């Protein structure tokens, strides 16, 4: 069994009851699970709070777009300070006080809604709990060239880390791809064999922590 497991499945029926024009018949969701008991990087150590941090970028017809280009001036401007040179930024950086995608420390997310994002993991000796990330991307396309685009790709990298120490563990890369004709788009895992974060991930993560003045164990 791998330290990172992923499952792509359909969102519950009726979640978005729109008859598709082409592509998948339902909106898809990815569930990514990190098993701390199998992690080579965590072996021999403990962590009370294991989360996922996730970075992404928007690619339209092969060209990287900034959040402001993709979402428009008002919806995308709040992410401008978090974007690095190659277009990556920490997912939910505009609304998150901490880097965890699960939004466990986000006071604006109701407790009953946090399960939609996943859950925080932990490890203490032989006792452990997996960290889980859930995501179901969707889009109506970019604001820039709104009538002329052919295909949108969201490129993701999701990495488990210890919120107490700031240590990174194993991760996964995946994508959301939506041709213009598709109603929902398709999720695909690119690689679960990620023993450490990429340089792009590290740069985007650091940009977030610098802007937010976030330090491990500070929340």
Per-residue pLDDT 10s for the chain (219 aa) are 799 999 999 986 655 556 777 888 889 999 999 999 999 999 888 999 999 999 999 999 999 999 999 999 877 899 999 999 999 999 999 999 999 999 998 999 998 889 899 999 999 998 999 999 999 999 999 999 999 999 999 999 999 999 999 999 999 999 999 999 999 999 999 999 889 999 999 999 999 999 999 988 754
Q: Give the number of other Cβ atoms within 10 Å of residue 191's Cβ.
A: 11
Farthest-apart Cα atoms in the chain, separation = 55
Give the domain ranges of the chain.
Answer: 28-212
Give the global pTM.
0.94
Q: Which residues of 51-85 are buried (b: 16+ CB within 10 A; e: fewer)?
A: bbbbbbbbbbeeebbbbbbbbeeeebeebeebbbe
Rounded to whole angstroms, the Cα distance separating 90 from 82 reads: 7
């Amino acid at each position: 069994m791998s330290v990172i497991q992923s499952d792509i499945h359909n969102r519950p029926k009726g979640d978005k009851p729109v008859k598709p024009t082409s592509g998948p018949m339902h909106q898809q969701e990815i569930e990514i699970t990190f098993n701390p008991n199998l992690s080579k990087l965590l072996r021999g150590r403990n962590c009370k709070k294991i989360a996922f941090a996730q970075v992404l970028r928007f690619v339209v017809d092969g060209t990287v777009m900034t959040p402001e280009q993709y979402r428009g001036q008002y919806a995308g401007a709040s992410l401008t300070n978090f974007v690095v040179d190659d277009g990556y930024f920490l997912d939910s950086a505009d609304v998150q006080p901490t880097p965890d995608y699960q939004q466990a420390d986000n006071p604006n997310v109701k407790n009953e809604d946090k399960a939609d994002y996943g859950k925080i993991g932990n490890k203490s000796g032989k006792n452990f709990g997996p960290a889980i990330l859930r995501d179901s991307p969707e889009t109506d396309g970019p604001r820039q060239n709104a009538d002329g685009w052919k295909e949108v790709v969201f490129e993701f990298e999701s990495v488990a880390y210890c919120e107490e120490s700031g240590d990174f563990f194993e991760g996964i890369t995946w994508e959301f791809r939506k041709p213009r004709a598709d109603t929902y788009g398709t999720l695909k895992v690119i690689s679960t064999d990620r023993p450490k974060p990429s340089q792009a991930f590290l740069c985007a993560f650091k940009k977030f922590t610098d802007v937010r003045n976030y330090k491990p164990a500070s929340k």
